[in-house]
Structure 1
Amino acid sequence: APNPAVDAFVRELLVALLKAGGDPTKAENELIDVLSRAHAAGQLNPVLQALVADPRVIAHLPPMPAEKRALFAAQFAFMVGAELEGAGRIPGTKPFESWSDMSRRQSALIAAGSFAPRGPGEKSLFTEPGFIKEYEALTGSLFTGGNTAKPLIDGPVSFKVRFGLMRKATKSIHIQSWAFYDDATGNAAADLLIAKKAEGLGVKIMVDGKTASVHGASVLARMATAGVEIVYFNDASRKYDGLHTKILLVDGVHAIVGGMNFGDDYSHMGPGPKWRDTDLYYRGKVVAQTSRFMTALWNSQVSAQGLSHGLMSPVVAASAAGKARLSFLADDPEGEATIMLAYLKAIAGAGTVINIENAYLITMPQLKAALLDALRRGVKVNILTNSAESIDEPIVIAPILASLPELIAAGATVGLKRGDTVHSKFMTVDGLFSIVGSFNLHPRSIRYEFELVVSALDARLAAALDRAFAADMAAALPVTDPAALVIPDSPLTRIVQRYLYNQL
């Protein structure tokens, strides 16, 4: 049915765009004003649906069927609403700390340390107990000894371990995952979890609620019908936040974290894409830190949503026969970006080499400053991220590629993934320190997502990750000339970069 209010907003948007020659940056104030009023009136989604159906707008969009255009408009409306509220443009909303303010504040925290940065020929700061204490104080998470840690390189390796642990489980299987998929992997996992529930084990799964509306509805419903307790993460007070963490905790003893969800792209079980990804399997005292995070989030969601599910209790983890010193760190987007602080402190501690493998590397101001400073003092900075060929989310490729020229010009070695997507999220420093988890080096992981990492002081783990990184770099497209980067530029990419940066 016709909606006069929607039609009026659409007319205002079209007039503003036409007067600006189709360039939204030349009609910024008018457009933001109209979108803010539409959002405050609860009409943002229908307004944008009508806008993308206009032939004059369709001409500036990538070719896509009408159904996909409608889905794009709905996603775009959600992102625009989040950004308007994050900018404090809607009455009653609290604006984000600006990126420039965050960068200055976090950079000052790093600079306040007692140890001057080092370069080649000097001992790594990760050999200094005092520097490690500063890292712990900054992140609020202590390193604990008595752990074993092993990287799981790619889906076939990780899912062999995951399924093996779940089959041998005798007490409990607790999972946090951004998504379960309605595919071979999701159904194989569901079969196993349903069987374990029938054996009397405590099986609890938390998935991101918004993602579950798109992926995995069938497989999640099947598990719920069989008695598996499932929580669809949703924070009513922060409706744009999501759960991006990935944890498997079996019997309170075995833990796996990293980048992989329960889907074929990750496991390589199906005929489709086979993503390059990395998980970390660990045992020992740090499992208690992992369990405390899972317990607190599960119990708070069960309470907030009024669910009848049983509550979780944190485990007291025993030492494992290993020497790895590990630290578990999880971020709530409402609080301090402590995972970013962990990355910045680790980069500041580098004396010889930094290896970064990250799916969506977008140099937020504090990250760019830290990497450029490391390059200036002679540290080798090696980066692997996605190319236009490999990226799974085309909206982010322009800011990824735009992040690289200055680093390359300063001496960084950059490889772009060929073929299927790289989805790993890890970094090593000086062959001594590693950080692995769900955290992407992009704005969204700070602004909107619950994220986690495990930091490790263990030369054997760093060496294993460095070997995997070297193999990935050898297979990647090397980029030595910044001018060789073809960075997409269109009205859409400019809109995204300028107005939706926090969503990237």
Structure 2
Amino acid sequence: MGSRDTTRNGELMVEPNKSLEFRLGIDFRPDLYETNRQDWLNAAKVEIAKKSEAVANELLKYSGELKSLENIQSLDQFIDDLAQGILTGQSEFAVEEKLTAFKEVGSSGMALMARIQNEKKLFVEKSLSDLYEILPTLVPELTSSAQERFAACQKAVKEMGGAVGAKALDILDAARKKGLLRPLIETAIFKLKADEPKESNKDLAIRLTNLIESELWLRENHDASPEKHAERAASFFRKHLVTADNFGKMLSKTTDAKITTGNAVTLLSDPAEAMQKRINLIGELAEGTIEVAAWAFGEDSSAELITNSLIKAVQEANDRGAKITVRVLVDGKTSQLSHYGSCIKKLERADTNGGLSTIEVVRSGNPKRPYDGSHCKIFAVNGLDREGKELHASIMGGRNYSDHYFWEQGVENPTEEWTDMDVLLEGAATAPASSAFRQVWNREAKNQDRPDIQIDEPRTGLVTRKSASDHGQENVAVVSDAPGTHRDAQPSNSLWAHLVVIESATKTLDIPNAYFVNFPAVREAIVRAIERGVEVRIFTNSNVSIDEPIVSLPILAELASLQAEANKIDSDGLKIYLKSQEANLKPGEQTLHTKAVVADETRWAVGSYNYHLRSEYLEAEDVVIGWSDNPNDSDTAHEIVKTLEQGIDDGDGVHETGEKYQLADLTRLESLIQHSPKILQRAFPLFHLVRHNL
């Protein structure tokens, strides 16, 4: 819709999403809509909120006299609706009527708005006071020694159970329901005279608020706690011993996995190879489908490379009269954040030269489940290659599409070097991998009233184009999960898959996972493995390599607790390796992002599943599980372990290239906890509160 050359009441009428400055006299760039929708919307909400008279007047019209705080959410919703209406150009005359109210409001509207803001402030202050009264250890400024700060933090955590924890949760939940949780968290954090800059504190407050909001929502909407999942798993494994011989049977018994045989599997630990494999597969396809699921597409060289390759494939197919269908599924909330939107918009708006070939994009989102996300990572190519032969290949693992995961394209020494893993599947396993993508796609399409696609495509052959003997003949199963489905009754498919691998270990167990947050089912399975005499190695992020600082202290606390428990069983039963990074880099620039587990160097799982509650309750996830009938033929398991071992610091005091993981004993872990930033120690009891009261 272009600009409208009409008048109404003597006032020029133009398209809403191009006329905010004209209508409200705002010194503000509406063209930001073209580059970043979320930034534009946020700016619009701020400017509209400044017109407090109109907001108050509209609130009066819709809600009547405001007599309690119960209508505070109506105010926020009104601002949201108004900004969205202007932004999208929908309901133009409704928007115009709302904007007209700006000229008609009087002093009563201003007074009401002031009252609303004052009541919000009083509510936050009262809630904070109540929280401090219940949890007095949160009150001190924590300016004492590291040992004393750690002791206060431990004491606060111990107070989280029973009636004390329930009262604290009620305070937080009341703030959440009134839309005031973030001001409450920000006030608590800013009261601390921390050594971090204010912007760092604000970012932490936002992340902590998001975490607490989602887990309070979980507490209200899910019946099964993580502890109940752990109990169910422990009960199952008491009755069923997992062995190398019955591994596939146990996997089928606990998940809905379809097991396939004779697959060629290639581990993709090198980021350049992982990208090149994708580009090659796109270029080889002459006709068929390319299906890509990811949590995010960035706005950098790696995202541009994959985006341009997909567009080029469709354009060239149309030029030669062939049909290639590209489907891209991304997490809806992430795609609206800064630095994650331009490539998705480019795919949505791509000029495909007309013809049968198309690009379809779905951004996940379910209004009934506001905290859900789409975290699965699948790259599936199916059809005919340039020689007319069948082409079926799938890549699954932990990588999204940005320079974090594939490293900056064309740069010899990139600074952001995340560690991750994918596996390339060729053979019968490509069928369930493609089905996993299509199940997620159809679920999200249904939320948006879009048509389904066929889950299982007919295939005339699934023989890998490479000799299976080149890569070993492996049994492969693929499992996936949707947020909010069967998980109240039992653990997710992804969790069961990891547990079955862990329970099968008799000699060694290697677990690289990005976010090793307290997770009872996994923790108990690891303890059982140590009790069986299994040598367990955990590879995870340190406080400097983690990309999400809010979880660094919970990770360290869980690892220290687990190490202390393991030492009581066998002092050599558990070794924990923390990811290091170069000293001149910002925290999180060399993060470990891998999510895998390997038992006895023969059975393995790789996928998108993290050891934290979002993966279990709120995210769509997927996992590939592999093993060989011949233990000496498990190439993928050997390669995963070899890759991990190559990154272990040999302890010679020289940090050589490639040495990424440093052994951290209990003393080292406790020292890192005690010297964690004050702000994180203050936030940790609140994190612990919601995590342990689901």
Normalised by the size of structure 1, how large is the TM-score? 0.88
Are the counterparts in 1 of residues 294 and 400 from structure 2 also a CA contact under 8 Å? yes
**1:121 match:** none
With over 3 angstroms needed to count, the CA separation of the structure-2 counterparts of 1:233 and 1:374, relative to structure 1, is: same
Asked if residue 35 in structure 1 is aligned to residue 172 in structure 2, the reply is yes
**2:186 match:** 52
**1:350 match:** 505
Are the counterparts in 1 of residues 501 and 597 from structure 2 also a CA contact under 8 Å? no
User: Per the alignment, in what secondary structure is the counterpart of residue 109 of structure 1?
Assistant: helix
**Residue 103 of structure 1: CA displacement?**
1.0
Asked if residue 243 in structure 1 is aligned to residue 374 in structure 2, the reply is yes
With over 3 angstroms needed to count, the CA separation of the structure-2 counterparts of 1:61 and 1:324, relative to structure 1, is: same
* Structure of larger gyration radius: 2
- Aligned residue type for 1:268: W
Asked if residue 417 in structure 1 is aligned to residue 417 in structure 2, the reply is no
| Unaligned 5+ runs, structure 1 | 89-93, 118-124
Are the counterparts in 2 of residues 12 and 34 from structure 1 also a CA contact under 8 Å? no
Are the counterparts in 1 of residues 605 and 624 from structure 2 also a CA contact under 8 Å? yes
- C-alpha separation in 1, matches of 2:427 and 2:447: 31
**Residue 266 of structure 1: CA displacement?**
0.7
**1:203 match:** 326
**Residue 98 of structure 1: CA displacement?**
1.8
**1:462 match:** 637
With over 3 angstroms needed to count, the CA separation of the structure-2 counterparts of 1:462 and 1:413, relative to structure 1, is: same
**2:441 match:** 298
Are the counterparts in 1 of residues 263 and 475 from structure 2 also a CA contact under 8 Å? yes
- C-alpha separation in 1, matches of 2:693 and 2:408: 33
With over 3 angstroms needed to count, the CA separation of the structure-2 counterparts of 1:501 and 1:163, relative to structure 1, is: farther
CA displacement, residues 356-386 of structure 1 (integer Å, 9 cap, x when unaligned): 1111123412212211111122111112111
Residue of structure 2 aligned with 1:23, choices 138, 146, 150: 138
**Residue 297 of structure 1: CA displacement?**
2.0
**2:421 match:** 278
Asked if residue 108 in structure 1 is aligned to residue 224 in structure 2, the reply is no
**Residue 432 of structure 1: CA displacement?**
1.5
With over 3 angstroms needed to count, the CA separation of the structure-2 counterparts of 1:325 and 1:36, relative to structure 1, is: same
With over 3 angstroms needed to count, the CA separation of the structure-2 counterparts of 1:471 and 1:12, relative to structure 1, is: same
Asked if residue 212 in structure 1 is aligned to residue 382 in structure 2, the reply is no
**2:121 match:** 7
- C-alpha separation in 2, matches of 1:397 and 1:37: 27
With over 3 angstroms needed to count, the CA separation of the structure-2 counterparts of 1:4 and 1:310, relative to structure 1, is: same
With over 3 angstroms needed to count, the CA separation of the structure-2 counterparts of 1:60 and 1:501, relative to structure 1, is: farther
- C-alpha separation in 2, matches of 1:470 and 1:248: 28
Residue of structure 1 aligned with 2:516, choices 344, 361, 364: 361
CA displacement, residues 258-288 of structure 1 (integer Å, 9 cap, x when unaligned): 1111000111125431111110001111111
| Unaligned 5+ runs, structure 2 | 1-51, 53-113, 140-155, 319-323, 352-358, 384-391, 582-589, 629-633, 650-658
Deviates more, 1:254-263 or 1:455-464: 455-464
**1:84 match:** 216
**1:442 match:** 612
Q: How does 1:386-405 map to 2 (within 5 A)?
A: 386-405=541-560
Residue of structure 2 aligned with 1:493, choices 684, 689, 692: 684
- C-alpha separation in 2, matches of 1:310 and 1:221: 22
**Residue 184 of structure 1: CA displacement?**
0.9
**Residue 164 of structure 1: CA displacement?**
1.4
User: Per the alignment, in what secondary structure is the counterpart of residue 443 of structure 2?
Assistant: helix
- C-alpha separation in 2, matches of 1:389 and 1:61: 16
Are the counterparts in 2 of residues 79 and 500 from structure 1 also a CA contact under 8 Å? no
**1:326 match:** 476
User: Per the alignment, in what secondary structure is the counterpart of residue 163 of structure 1?
Assistant: helix
Asked if residue 178 in structure 1 is aligned to residue 295 in structure 2, the reply is yes
Are the counterparts in 2 of residues 387 and 418 from structure 1 also a CA contact under 8 Å? yes
With over 3 angstroms needed to count, the CA separation of the structure-2 counterparts of 1:50 and 1:460, relative to structure 1, is: closer
**Residue 73 of structure 1: CA displacement?**
4.3
Normalised by the size of structure 2, how large is the TM-score? 0.65
- C-alpha separation in 1, matches of 2:548 and 2:693: 15
- C-alpha separation in 1, matches of 2:268 and 2:430: 17
Question: How many positions carry a matched residue from both structures?
Answer: 481
- C-alpha separation in 2, matches of 1:369 and 1:15: 38
- Aligned residue type for 2:579: K
**Residue 454 of structure 1: CA displacement?**
0.5
Are the counterparts in 2 of residues 60 and 491 from structure 1 also a CA contact under 8 Å? no
With over 3 angstroms needed to count, the CA separation of the structure-2 counterparts of 1:135 and 1:302, relative to structure 1, is: closer
Are the counterparts in 2 of residues 82 and 240 from structure 1 also a CA contact under 8 Å? yes
User: Per the alignment, in what secondary structure is the counterpart of residue 440 of structure 1?
Assistant: coil
With over 3 angstroms needed to count, the CA separation of the structure-2 counterparts of 1:109 and 1:184, relative to structure 1, is: same
Are the counterparts in 2 of residues 265 and 272 from structure 1 also a CA contact under 8 Å? no
User: Per the alignment, in what secondary structure is the counterpart of residue 276 of structure 1?
Assistant: coil
**2:430 match:** 287
CA RMSD of the aligned region, Å? 2.5
- C-alpha separation in 2, matches of 1:481 and 1:96: 37
**Residue 480 of structure 1: CA displacement?**
5.4
Structure number with higher relative contact order (C-alpha < 8 Å, ≥ 6 residues apart) = 1
Give the ranges of 4+ consecutive aligned residues of structure 1 lying more than 6 Å apart after TM superposition. none
**1:151 match:** 267
Asked if residue 134 in structure 1 is aligned to residue 325 in structure 2, the reply is no
CA displacement, residues 280-329 of structure 1 (integer Å, 9 cap, x when unaligned): 0011111111122211221232232024x783553345132422110001
Asked if residue 254 in structure 1 is aligned to residue 386 in structure 2, the reply is no
- C-alpha separation in 1, matches of 2:619 and 2:457: 25
With over 3 angstroms needed to count, the CA separation of the structure-2 counterparts of 1:316 and 1:471, relative to structure 1, is: farther
- Aligned residue type for 2:120: V
